[in-house]
Structure 1
Amino acid sequence: MTQKMTKPDDPDFIHGFPREIWEEVSDNPELTEEDFKLARPFREVFPELAAEIERSRGRPASENPKKQVTLRLDADVVARYKAGGKGWQSRMNADLRKALGL
């Protein structure tokens, strides 16, 4: 039995399989223009599930969230903290809290 060599743009083959075999076993038939016209957003069709997914994304909300700020510091101060490795911002925060008596 000889096998036909296929090119990526060969209309008779899909992913290296004959079109009729691919369409017979495909669980995802191609969408038609009518399918696209009938399509609705997931959030509209399943509002409860969409809300649940949104709530479960990301890390849980902190009771004491951090506030992002822009701060200009002396280069040698930043270099000293960074020299301590990962977590330098947390160490700087801890030192500021200690200096403020918090």
Structure 2
Amino acid sequence: MADDRNRRRFTDPRAAAEAAFRAATTPKPSAPPQPVSRPAAAPAAIPGAREVVSLRLDSTVLAHFQKDGPGWQDRINEALKALVAGA
């Protein structure tokens, strides 16, 4: 029984009251400000910019544009632009 008394923790009532008072009166940290969500803006179009695409063409169409050598992709682009402008 003597050992039980030595193991007990006795709290100081004044220290407990001060701790409770501090906990009740200490301002709580505020939440960090939330970032302002903005609608996703469309990417700005750069005049004359090109995009990389994968395109399936008939082998005869590809052969027609490649027969004159390098620049065949530019020639396909010009032909498509002319088609769209005429539509």
Report the TM-score when normalising by structure 2.
0.43
State which structure, 1 or 2, has the greater radius of gyration over its C-alpha atoms: 2
**Structure with greater contact order relative to length (CA < 8 Å, sep ≥ 6):** 2
